[in-house]
Structure formats: structure tokens, C-alpha cells
Amino acid sequence: MTLTLTRVRRAFREGLRAAHAELGSRPPALRRPAPDTPLCEAPTHPGPSRPAAPPPPTGAPAPSAPRAFDTGYRPRTLTLRRTTKTLAELVRAPAALTVPGDVVAGALASARTARVSPGRTALLAAGSVALYWAGMALNDWADRAEDARERPERPIPSGRLSPGAALATATGLTAGALALGAVAGGRRVLLRRTLPLAAAVWAYDLGLKRTRLGPLAMAAARGLDVLHGTGTGPARPALGAALTVAAHTLAVTRLSRHEVDGEAGDEPALALAVTAASALAAALPARHAGRGSAGRLRTRWTAPALAAGALALAGRAQWAALRTPDAAHVRAAVGAGIHALVPLQAALVARAGAPRAALGLVAALPPALSLARKVSPT
């Protein structure tokens, strides 16, 4: 058996040699490359001659690589991410961190005559945030022609969002806020608190902001936001806190009218004076603040410290805008004034006798400042 296999192999080899001898070359599988030739080098035997390509004319541009055909397909996660970013820019999402403090300040101001419900306060705060976002979306819808000239990077003039989508966003958020108000306190809260606030927001964006009453309308809306926090309780105990927040908002809104042209005139000085007065009002002790000596002591130091922080945050930028009244400094002063609402609200909360809640509100300031670098609050 072994002898037979040996003869078969020998005969097979002799047949291969004879076939290769007739072809005059060895098969590629049996050829070994030269020591200095890489394995991937092309064969060196001559092929059919081809005419050489003519050189490009002198001064002609180099041929560009063919561009890949764009099919328009985008991964779903990428599309969702872009849509979320556009909506966040439309409603100035990070700036909403300055809103819950209004509601908390109003709720604690009325705590002398009504019991504060954390659940109701949370629902009212969520409704205020929804109305704030609705106002921002409605503002961009109403200003789409003006933004096309002055701020073409905004979502609507840049084409990233249609005007109809912005209006639908404002409408949906307003409806959600009204629903939250009804859940928080029924028809009484809906008609006396949430609906007037929503009406003030829409009236400002759809016409009042282009008149001399614009800053007053915005200040009134922010004051109504403080009263929104009183819920089913009386609004009178929270009028002081509402007027403090409204005065600060009035100064910031007047200054914001010059953040594009930078010709602010005396507005930075007026804003600085009003900010100082608001901080002083929030720092003054209240007769009902704190039930015990420890509570009065914490309130005595916490409220002035937080008010001083609000003055330092907004006042420094307003002083810079006063010295250099250009568009960049005015815009920075407006942004600082918006963020200064957080320590101002916290001072009002501490003044009402809740220093721990005040410190909890201040914890929202660092994220708001950090996110403002990605999404402008103005």
C-alpha cells in the first residue's frame, strides 16, 4: 500500500514538471519571491504598453477627490440630540433655574396665614417654569423677522426650527402650565394665579414689549410669578417679595433693550441703583422671621449675606457696562442680572424664616452659570 502511494506521488510530480516545461514558467503558487522583493509587489513581467497620461496644464487646479454622496440619512440618536439642543436654545432652558425661587419666596411669605404644602408648591413651580419657557418660545416667534437681521444664529432664522413649531411649543407649554395650576389648587388657583400670569406673558411677547410699557409688563409678570407661589393662600403677605423681584426685573429688562446696539446711556447706572435697593430690601429683617432664637440668628446672617451676593453678581457686571457701554458689556450685565435673581430670591426666602431652603435655592446658581456658557439666557 505504501509503495503504491509513493509511485502515485512520483507520477504526479513528473506530470507537473512536464506541464510546466511546456508552459515555460513555474506556476505562481510554486514560485518564491526574490529576497529583496516584498510579497505584495506587483509582478515585473512586461504587459501591454499603454500611452502615458498627458501632464496637467500649467496653472490648472489639482483634481479634487470625488465627494461622497449624501443620502440624507442621520442616526436617530443624532437627530434627537440636535432637536433637543435646538429646543433648549429656543426656550433658554438653563435660565429656568431662576424661576422656582419666585414661587418658593411667595409660598413662604404667605406662610404666616396659610399652611405651605410642598406638593402644591412643587406643582406651581413646575407651572411657572413651563410659562417661562413658553414666553421664550413665543418671544422668538414674535421676533423672527428682527432676529433674522440681528441674531441670525437663533433657531428660527437659522432654519433649524420652523415658526409654526415655535408657536406650537409656546402653546403646548402654556396649556401644560394651566393644567398644573388646576391640579395644584383647582379653579381658584387656575383663575386667580396661573391664568393672570399666563396672560401677562403672552401680552408682553405679542405687543407690549415694543412699547414703553414693555419693561413694566415684564416686571409685572415676574411679580405675578411670586404671587403664583401663594397658591390658595392670600396674596397680600407676599406683596413685598413680589415688588422686590419686580423692581430688579424692571431694571434688567430696561437694560436688555440695548444689548444689541450697546447704546445704553444711563441705563447701567439705573440698573445698579435698583439692584442695590432690591438687595437692601431683601436683607432687611422681618418681624416674623424665625420662630426661635436660633432661627432668628440664622436668618439675621443668611439673608444679608445672600443679598450681598446678589448685589456683587449683578453689580460688578453693571459697573463694567457703565464704564464701557458697548454691546458685549451690556449683554453680560443682562445675563448677570438674570442670574442674580437666584441669590435675591434666596435672601427673600431666608428673610421669611427658612434659611435652609434659601441655601437649597442658591445651589442652583453654579449649574445655571455653567449652562449659560452653552445656551445664552438672553
CA distances to 31, 98, 199, 221, 316 from 246, in Å: 92, 13, 17, 8, 20
The C-alpha cell at 320 is: 463694567
pLDDT value at 26 more than 60: no
Q: What is the pLDDT of residues 125-159, one digit of tens each?
A: 999 999 999 999 999 999 999 999 888 999 999 99
Q: Say what the pLDDT of residue 260 is.
A: 78
Query: Is the pLDDT assigned to residue 170 strictly greater than 80?
Result: yes
Mean pLDDT of 244-262: 90
CA distance 110 to 231: 9
pLDDT score for 83: 87
CB 156 within 8 A of CB 166: yes
Condensed to tens digits (0 to 9), the pLDDT of residues 172-200 reads 999 999 999 999 999 999 999 999 999 99
3-state secondary structure of 378: coil
How confident is the model at residue 30, as a pLDDT?
Answer: 43
pLDDT tens per residue across span 68-101: 555 555 567 777 888 888 999 999 988 899 999 9
DSSP 54: P
Closest by CA to 241, choosing from 336, 97, 129, 108, is: 108
CA of 250: how far to CAs of 150, 207, 221, 273, 286, in Å? Answer: 23, 17, 10, 12, 24
pLDDT at residue 81, as a whole number: 84
Is the pLDDT at 41 greater than 80? The verdict is: no
Decide if pLDDT at 59 tops 70: no
Angle at CA of residue 141, ends 130 and 209, nearest 5°: 85
DSSP code per residue over 299-368: HHHHHHHHHHHHHHHHHHHHHHHHHS-SHHHHHHHHHHHHHTHHHHHHHHHHHTT-HHHHHHHHTTHHHH
Please state which of the ranges 106-115, 219-228, 281-290 shows the lowest mean pLDDT.
281-290
* Average pLDDT over all residues of the chain: 82
Top-confidence residue, 180 or 266: 180
Q: What is the pLDDT of residue 257?
A: 87
Mean pLDDT of 62-72: 54
Read off the pTM. 0.75
C-alpha cell at 347: 435672601
- Band of pLDDT at residue 8, cut at 50, 70 and 90: low
Type of residue found at 67: R
148: left (phi over 0), alpha (psi -120 to 50) or beta: alpha
What pLDDT is recorded for position 264?
A: 76
As a whole number of angstroms, the distance between CA 162 and CA 368 comes to: 27
More confident: 355 or 69: 355
